[in-house]
Amino acid sequence: GDINTNLEETTGSSYKIIPGVDIAKDPKVTVEADSEACWLFVKVEETNWSRFPDANGTAKVFYSVDVQKGWIALNDHPGVYYREVSAEDAKTGVEYDVNCNVTVSQMLTKAEINSIASGTQPQLSFTAYAVQRLGIDDAATAWAAANNP
């Protein structure tokens, strides 16, 4: 199908990890006008991601995607979120906020922050995928059609 998308980060690319201070990330995925109805995916990937678990195993640093904005977590594919884009929205063009929040616990210590070596700062990467909706009845099948494991 003829689907054109664009992914843009709107909140910058460099952040400081400060105990107790959450970090808002707000990438926007656009399905450009004159596209086809589609399954739209965003994959969030972690690089050098340290969770610094506490004594109970709870991560002191973690991210979450605001599913109240219409994104649905794809079962059995951690970090993959999807939504359906109607023919009408695809025809006129539509933009979706991803709204990702990095939560940093107040319990994160200076020593833990200092343990992050230069060049190994934690990163979140966002990638958008779109698969034509026609003939594909569910997101898992669409994700597989995009040649993703």
- Does the pLDDT at position 17 exceed 90? no
What are the b/e assignments for 124-137, b being 16+ CB within 10 Å?
bebebbbbbbeebe
Q: pLDDT digits over 86-140, tens only? A: 999 999 999 999 999 999 999 988 888 888 777 677 888 999 999 999 999 999 9
For the entire predicted model, the pTM comes to 0.88
Contact 19, 105 (CB under 8 A): yes
Q: How confident is the model at residue 74 (pLDDT cuts 50, 70, 90)?
A: very high
